[in-house]
Structure formats: structure tokens, C-alpha cells
Amino acid sequence: MKAFSIPYYDIKKMYLLKYIVLAGLSSVIGYIAFLFFNRLFTKNIMVYIGTAPKSFFHHFIPILAICFIFLLIVSFCMLTLRKLNRISAVSAIRSGTIGESKTRKFLSMNKFFNVDFFLALRDVFARSKSYSLLLVVFIICTFIIIVPINFLNTIASPNFIKYMGVEKSDIRIDLHHSDHIVEDFHQMIQTIENDPEVERFAPLVTSQFKVLNNEGIKENITVQTGDFSIFPLEYINGHAPKNDGEIALSYLHRKELEKNVGDKLQLVVEGKEQEMVVSGVYQDVTNGGRTAKASVPFNYETARWYEVSLDVKPHVNINEKMEEYTKLFSSAKVTDIDNYLDQTFGNTIEQLRVFSMLIAIIAIFVAILITSLFLKMLIAKDTSQLAIMKSIGFSTKNLKIQYVISMIFVLILGIFIGTIVSNTIGENIVSTILSFMGVSNIQFMIDPIKAYIFIPLVLIIAVGITTMLSITSIKKLSIIGKSV
């Protein structure tokens, strides 16, 4: 096109317009898919942990993310198209000269690697700018595979209980609405207290209170009362309420009330305002992420639900003890931590598992597609060089091995960087997203078999097979009839 005197800006517009349309269409389709799948994947979790009122930011942030991705794609296209201005018509016509490194290596200097391995690594470093795009693709693919899988492992782990504002214990007994709920609760405590197989237990009562916000308006607050020293939570700041007049807030409630550890707030207890000091802040995704813990008087008749956490002695079988309590307390729900998590997040975990598999498949197909396109471009560019190499004694097998080594080397480097980014930046991204639900500092539970063996192996096999299939045309190359 330059040879035909088409201006640089017209060439740039031709390419840029195409990518703007593709990026814009993809962004719109992606946003529509988000609106549909967001409800599909979160409807079950909302049934158990409740929903929080959506603010302007809940609608604005997804749109902002879509716009950011669109602008990022367009910016990369504009940055790449700037190179058109530096390419002359003559150099564009000459095959294999654009982007080639001027450095020259001699095989005689190589004492540690065989010829194929040496030439493959030389090609990667000599054309690092060309391979950098492929490296970025592999990093992104690794990232979008590992992060969902790590999050799935985290939410399916028993340790996820610490993000639910729930004490970790052997057995949990929940007592909800019944005709004689107060009598049942007292009888349950008495039975557990007299059970010689119980090592320790903590009865807790959850009630609805009123708290004065920063504007002096009373709003509802779900407060759990009891002894929090028996089964302590992990607090991101401060500690559990130990004395009267102390209260611990969930992360979202602390954020909304704009309170920090040591600050005071007014809690309405038995119709009177009582000054409370914030003793700690914990993470909680239940009840819309808005809960509190305090040692304050409560009314048994108006309590929302009752629960007892207990540990049995080492020689006691937990399942047998659960069956015993299930028969004794017919109106209660008796579970262990694993069953509690399964009942709360079981459907969500299954949907997340399907979502993770779908994302992994998409990422692998993207890696296959980009690898195939990249190799087709590279071989078309290297046609003359490959024909010369075959004429001086390099076999088709040698040339194929060189391309395979190049691709696998770049892939392994991408997997290494992508894994580090997933476990650092990915963890921070997930924490930022979950902070809107009450979890501000999540720590991934990593399955090393999946993250460090299975996923890299699948990517290596996929890229290796794609490379072998994409370079079959090398066999047909010959110096005869080829102008070099």
C-alpha cells in the first residue's frame, strides 16, 4: 500500500477501524454475557448469605471495566500501528527483514547446547520483540486459568469458614424458628453441658439491634452475643470483644459506619443508647457482609436465631456424636464445618467449578489459536531462510525441533511469570472484588498438583501439538524455485 502511495494515516485508519469495531462488539457482547451469567452464578450464594443494597458503584464498576478493556485494546493497536510510519515501501516488500535483529551468533561459540537448541534460543532472543506478544498471551492464559482454580480451591476449603464470620469447631448446632425455641435452646445447652464427651462449647445468640450512623439515623444491625474467646475468629484488625461495652464489626459495617478500632458508636440496647468501643474488625460474607459481635443484653423472645459451637474430646467420633444430637434436638440443624460449608456454598461451588473449567478451556483454545497464527506468520516470514537451511543440510526434523523448542521455551517462561502474577496480583484482584461482599483480604488455598503440574502440563501438550501441526508446511520448502 505504501508502494502505491497510500498515505500513512489512511493505512492506519483502515486497520484501526477494523479493530475498534471488533473490540467494541466484543465488549458489548461480554457485558451482556456478564449480566446474564452474573445472576446465574450468584443466585444460590445470595440465598444463603443475603443481598446487600446496590449502590451506584456496583453498576458503574463493570461498565468502567469494559471501557478500560476496550481502550486498552485500541491503545495497543494504535501503539503497534505507529510502526507503519517507520517502515519504508522497499523494506516492507522485502520478505524477512522487518523486525530482524542485527546481532549474529556463531555456532562455534556454542559449547553447551546442541545445534537445534542453540538456534531455537538464539531465534527467541534475536526476535524478542516478536516473541514478546506470544509471551504476554501465555501469561494471560495462565493467569485466567490459575486464578479461578485457586479461588475454587479456597472457597471449597474448610478454612474458608474464617471469611464467613463463623467460629471453627467440630460441630455446629443451629436452632431457628420453632414453637418453643427458647425452651429448646436452654435444654440443648444443659444437655451439652452435662455431656462428658464434649470438651468445650459456646452458645451464641443473634439478635437485631439499632445503631446510630454518622448522620444520627438509626439503622438495623445484626449482632451476635456470647463468649467469643472460646472459638476465636481471625481479625484483620483488633481483637474479639472481651468486656462489656466492646463491639467487633464486620469489614463492610466498619466501612459504612466509618469506624476504626478504638472508635466509639451508639448502640440501642433495650431502648437506650449505649456507647460501644470498636474492639476489632473481621471478615464476613453472610447477611450481606453486615454483622457485629458484642457482649450486650438481649431478649430471648426477639432473637433471630440461636447456635452452639462445640468441640468433642479426641477419642469421640464426630459423625456418631452428630447423629446423637440430631435425634436429641429434632428442631435443630446439626452439622460439622464441612457440611455447613457444603450446605451454604455447595451449589455455588459446583457452578464455580463449571465456570473454572469453561474458562480453562477457553484459555487453552486462545493459546492454541494465537500459537497457530503466530507460527503461520513466522514460517511465511522465514521461508527463504528455511529453504537455505534445508539446502545446507538441516533436515525437516531439525527445523521442526527448533520451532517446538522456541514455543515451549516461551510457554514455560509465560507459565512461570503467569503463576507468580496469579498468586500475587490475582489474589489482590479477588480480594478487591470480594471486598464489596465483606472479604477484604483473602488468601488463596493453592493445590500444587493442579497449579504447578497439571495446568502447565496441559498447556505444554496443547502448544506442543499445535506447533507440530502448524509447521507441517516446512516439509514442502525447497531452495529450488525460491528466490533468496
Transcribe 139-207 into DSSP letters.
HHHHHHHHHHHHHHHHHHSGGGGGGBT----SEEEEE-S-TTHHHHHHHHHHHHHT-TTEEEEEEEEEE
The answer to whether 392 and 104 have CB atoms below 8 angstroms apart is: no
pLDDT for 414 equals 94
256/258 Cα distance (integer angstroms) = 5
Q: How confident is the model at residue 465 (pLDDT cuts 50, 70, 90)?
A: very high
In this prediction, residue 432 has a pLDDT band, given cuts at 50, 70 and 90, of: confident
**15/258: higher pLDDT:** 258
Residue percentage of the chain with pLDDT more than 90? 19
Confidence of residue 12 (pLDDT cuts 50, 70, 90): confident
Distance CA 323, CA 320 (A): 5
Largest separation between any pair of C-alpha atoms in the chain: 98
- The alpha carbons of the chain give a radius of gyration, in whole angstroms, of 31
**Cα(first)–Cα(last) distance of the chain, in Å?**
23
**Where do the domains of the chain lie?**
1-94, 97-163+337-484, 171-335
- Is the confidence at residue 344, as pLDDT, over 90? no
**pLDDT average, residue stretch 373-399:** 82
pLDDT at 100: 42
| pLDDT reported for residue 149 | 92
Q: Is the pTM of this model over 0.75?
A: no
Residues recorded for the chain: 484
Contact (CB, 8 A) for 212 and 265: yes
Question: According to the model, what pLDDT value does residue 419 have?
Answer: 92
Q: Which tops the pLDDT comparison, 59 or 371?
A: 371
Work out the average pLDDT over 218-247.
87
Is 275 or 118 the better-scoring residue by pLDDT?
275
* Residues 125-167 pLDDT 10s: 888 888 888 999 999 999 999 999 999 888 888 788 878 878 7
